[in-house]
Structure 1
């Protein structure tokens, strides 16, 4: 009974974390200085087509799950399919928070930077909540893990290469669709550097919250 209660608490924590993640992504995007690396392709596509950032995020992450199946083959476990409802919720939360932040239109560059930093703090806390919940990974991280396992590479270095690849592909798509860079800017690089660092700081200084709220 205790194990079931703890598992329920962890999934609730994950659910809240997904909302916080969506809010963080939306805050960064609304800053107008680019978006987070993992969202860069969906966001760039949403600038040129009708579907929303959330819708493109859902489709893109389903593609990542399929990529995991191809990479892992027999080692792909059925529990990894939990990524599908999780990413569906995450995509919904992105669209929801983008709508809630519809009023947010920072005009000066200073305000854009402030919005970007606030977004990184929010997203970093959301990532920290995922780490504390420790029940499932989003497709982005799960794909990095799959590549790391199959090719025996370091997870951290593979993560950097993955994020860099997403950003480069988004930039190429931007030039193809708009003939100039749109959707990928300096904020994308800042988010790539800050979010993981902030999540680790939360883990270091308030990681004990897991014992209080969950265990």
Structure 2
């Protein structure tokens, strides 16, 4: 991978982080529960002073620590990039929440519409993050760490993908249940976890895969920027 392509990929990834954060904020502003990966920071944000972005930063740093505990010496060096990435993601969440300060959909139909649009945006952001192929957020890296550690005997790609999807679903359920328990303990009610949490868990991955199947080929050609002869600019040089 040449330098120009690497720069394009990181710029695309940063744009994906912003879209990702915007999707989280849209889902949160719908007030029907937030996405599973953001549910614990959101529950804490309801009753405490730090912002949703700052709680997201702390939570993601804990996920990095979890990966270190799981992988130990096998912890890849490029996983350390998660720290600046999650800092940027957290700032983007606070930025988009601030941008949407005046946005407050009223009535269940508008709330549901906002939730679905937020899922669409978040799914596209996840697709951008994965298509860039440079680094992942701690949530995705944690899934990768769990899948790598306990399913190393699965060599076939399809099985590996199926296992990763199953682990992702399990992580989402764990996050949502933990957030629900936190809400009951802190506020004596189910706070931050509602039907929107379930819908986003079901829809975002499906949306991201749809975007991948339809757009990934074109995006990769743009990121690689091949010339008319089919040779990438790095090879042409």
RMSD of aligned C-alpha atoms?
A: 1.0
1:1-215 aligned at under 5 Å gives the runs 3-152=2-151, 154-215=163-224
Shift of 1:211: 3.3
Give the total of aligned pairs. 214
- Note the C-alpha offset of 1:150: 1.2
- Give the SS at the match of 1:208: helix
Q: Does the Cα contact within 8 Å between 2:131 and 2:220 map onto a contact in 1?
A: no
Alignment-derived partner of residue 230 in structure 2: none
Moved more, 201-210 or 75-84: 201-210
Q: Is the 8 A contact 2:23 2:119 kept in 1?
A: yes
Instruction: Tell me, in whole angstroms, the C-alpha distance in 2 between the residues paired with 1:132 and 1:148.
Output: 20
Give the Cα separation in 2 of the matches to 1:182 and 1:211: 41
SS state at 1:214 partner: helix
Following superposition, the deviation at residue 148 of structure 1 comes to 1.1
Task: Name structure 2 gaps, 5 residues minimum.
Answer: 153-162, 225-237
C-alpha separation in 1, matches of 2:220 and 2:197 = 34
- Deviations, residues 106-148 of structure 1 (Å, cap 9, x unaligned): 1100000000011001001101101110101110010111111
Cα distance in 1, alignment partners of residues 53 and 110 from structure 2: 25
Question: Is the Cα contact below 8 Å between 2:39 and 2:175 reproduced in 1?
Answer: yes
* CA positional deviation for 1:182: 1.0
- Specify every segment of 5 or more residues in structure 1 that has no aligned partner in the other structure, as ranges: none
Q: Is the 8 A contact 2:27 2:115 kept in 1?
A: yes
Q: 1:208, CA displacement in angstroms?
A: 2.1
Point out the structure with max Rg over C-alpha: 2
The runs of 4+ residues in structure 1 deviating greater than 6 Å are none
